[in-house]
Structure 1
Amino acid sequence: MSGVWPDLLDVGSEERRQALTALLRDFFTDPALSAGTLHDRCTRLAFYDYDVRAVLRDLSPLPSPRLTATARQLITSTDQRAVLLGLGLLTGHARPDDVPMVRTLGLLNFASSQACRVLLAIPGAETDAVWVADRSPGVRGEVGDALRGHPDPDVRGWACRNSSGYMTHVRQRAGKHELRALLDRTHVDDALWDHIGQRLFRMCHYYLSSEFGYYPHDTTALRRWVSLAARRPATVDRAVQLCSLAEELVSGHAAVAVRGLRDGLVAEIGNVLEGWRDLLEREAARDGRAAWVLRELAGLRTPLNRFAVRIVSHAPEPTGGVEARVFIDGTPLYAALFQGGFSGPSERVVDGGRLRAENQPREILLDDYDGTNLYVTIVREGAEVVWKDWRWDMRPDRLPGEFRFDAAEYDHEVERAEFDRGWEWPARTVARLVERRLRADPTVLGRWDCGPGHCHSARDVHDAAVLDFTHPADASWDEPSVTFRLGINAAGRDPEAVADDVIAMLCASDPKETVGMVGRDSAAMAARLGLVHRPTTVGFC
């Protein structure tokens, strides 16, 4: 479908609406003007769906028979502007036989909001509006609000789960609903552009669920913001902001929300960052963020394979968090199911052969989103690998169906993900090696009646890792136990040598006598177990 509206970015809202109003007045007052003429003239204008609604509201009441006939011609166009205008004209005048066409148009990102408005105005088409909203995240709140008092209990239940009340309150308090209006100005200065970029990223990358895409105009704001990037002076801060948002468009919930616009927006951001390459290369030696942008830029694209795993490392602070994001048919799985949130780290999702396919079916825990567990069964069937029998106790209605992948391509992708360590910083490598060796030989800590432990290095400290382990090794949750925390300094040393030293130290002497304890009740628990209490001085990293 054509009509990408490049001119829209430089036309203010008043100018857009005045031009559209003049066009429609001419059409309504001159019976000689044909629907084809209206089509051709509207494709040369710049307007959004909300401009159409505002203009039609000012022009109402409108002549119905000629209007609806014209609207039905416009919605068959291959131009986005004509389709939007047609849907606007059809709203409140559509018949049940219009439903199939309008439903289909509702799957298009630019038309989903207006298509739902048409459906909601057709008696009996409320479930069709729900069908569109379930596939178009940006209109769920709008449709949910419209159907909250519906007599059908199933529709009413859906509306209660998807109404915008809570999210509207959160976003109005943060001022996020004004992003589109702020960016609609003829001139957007650097400070405002920077500020809105920060808001957009926070909306996309929220811990439990993404706020981005909840309103249809979130995509409008993001398109406008990206289009203005090339006009900004290049800085490392701005490069990080652009690269971080591009990653969310590739592998986060923003990818689900913007749908067909995704690759174009990512490419546009990539072009801006390529233009800033000289600055980034100059700064990379002393600023880890510039080096991170350059690394990310090399692979900033939607995976082409049916099955893919992308290891996502976020902007350094000084070292960012890491997620392993799984794609099926180019769609990020976690984002599509959970509507946001963080997927698990590579160590939990990929390492240890977790994703490998075997001849016997094997159910794995794919993620533990917000305290709930998502399971899938993986099995090799001849030349195919099958993902099936999904289980999730939180929202079973969202579970996908069965997926089949070419076994050779699947195996190659899993192997690539397992051996790709380009994202790993030295302390994270130490953590991985230490934990792997403790799992391989439980007697290292088991000889001291301690559990195998968990070793990790996260965002706060670039050159350190921590090992947490418990005593007694087999204590149940309601029995007294103590957690110990060992700090590991990895600065300037070979990760293999550091891991060797840690394992040797744990084997040589009882760590309970030297390693500090964590937990508010650690003193009481130590006393109950007959241990000397030593509070740890090591923070969580």
Structure 2
Amino acid sequence: MNAARDTGLPGAPTTVFEYALRLHRLTPNEPLPRGGVLPRGLGRLRAGLPRDHTRAGVDAAAVLDMYFDHPRIPPRALARRLAGLPAEYRHNEHISRAAREAPAARVRETGRWLIRHGTDAGSVCIGLALLAEAGTADDIPRIQTVGLLGNPFGSLAVGALERLPGGVEALIWLAERVTEWGRVHAVSALCRRADDPAVVPWLLRRGTAEGNFLDSYVVDHIARVTVLHHAVVAHGDDAEVMDTTGRILRVMTYSEGMGTSLRHYPHALTVLEAYVRQVGRLGPTADRYVAATLVAAYLGKESPAWSDDPALKARWDEARASYLALVDRTDWCATAREGLAAGDERLTWIAGEVAPALGLRAFRSL
């Protein structure tokens, strides 16, 4: 199969790095088109899994040991040997051990070559693992470039960036340009670096992404490290913080089993009450209408799980009434109808599936 033909890009390059770079140039400040899915011509992620999972990475580590023991073997020959092995797309201690025991300069040189010239996912994964052990700040751009292909390289790219000077800035850059699991890995890493002064302000404004279902795995971490129940009060006039809060509340309505659901979030009532009060002053948008409506629907079906105190349940019910009153305001109804007329799929779904049960004013005449 011709790899260049299979990328779907005119004159397409045949290395993973060049493929990612070409796509990045099309949307330099956004995620890659189609999420940066690797074309078949650039190799499969895995060439099969070992039957004994405790042996994952053992064969690749043995190949690396042999390679590092013979300084005259070129990286190209190593890449050929790795091509037939299962790709390890997460941290693997066997591979890391092989890198730590080899001369750092050669590990670094090899990692750079594999990332820059690798034509299959497995070789690039090994390159990222090597730079995680021996990389320098000079390697940040090449790690970020392949990291844009969040699946399958997100975990290893994030792990490598975390270890480097300037890693927080590099992680923020990457988090703003990846989706799905790539974004989960990047945001999770930033939550671990919340002591850096750049992290919490970014998480409060950009920590969640509209439509990213996998945010379920990180919103509880975001809420914890940003101390959201204080931030939502302190930043009530900051529209970006409020909209991030709305997305967090919305995600918590369906995150049961993946992360902390709203009924298990110990500061839920504080955040719920502050959010409805603040966005009531800020005014309606389609996003805010969707968030408030779905939160109201959830509050009517669930109860706080952290306490059976009747007073807390009363506050829970009062919060639901406040959200319903908010979305029934004339200006909020107008915003919802405008979004529906514009074809907003979220509002179309709400109109058909949620509005009848809640008796939402915006859709009563439809």
TM-score bracket for the superposition, by shorter chain length: 0.3 to 0.5
Q: Which has the higher strand share?
A: 1
Greater radius of gyration (CA): 1
Structure having the higher helix fraction is: 2
Higher RCO (C-alpha under 8 Å, 6+ residues apart): 2
Give the alignment's TM-score, normalised by structure 2. Answer: 0.46
TM-score, normalised by the number of residues in structure 1: 0.33
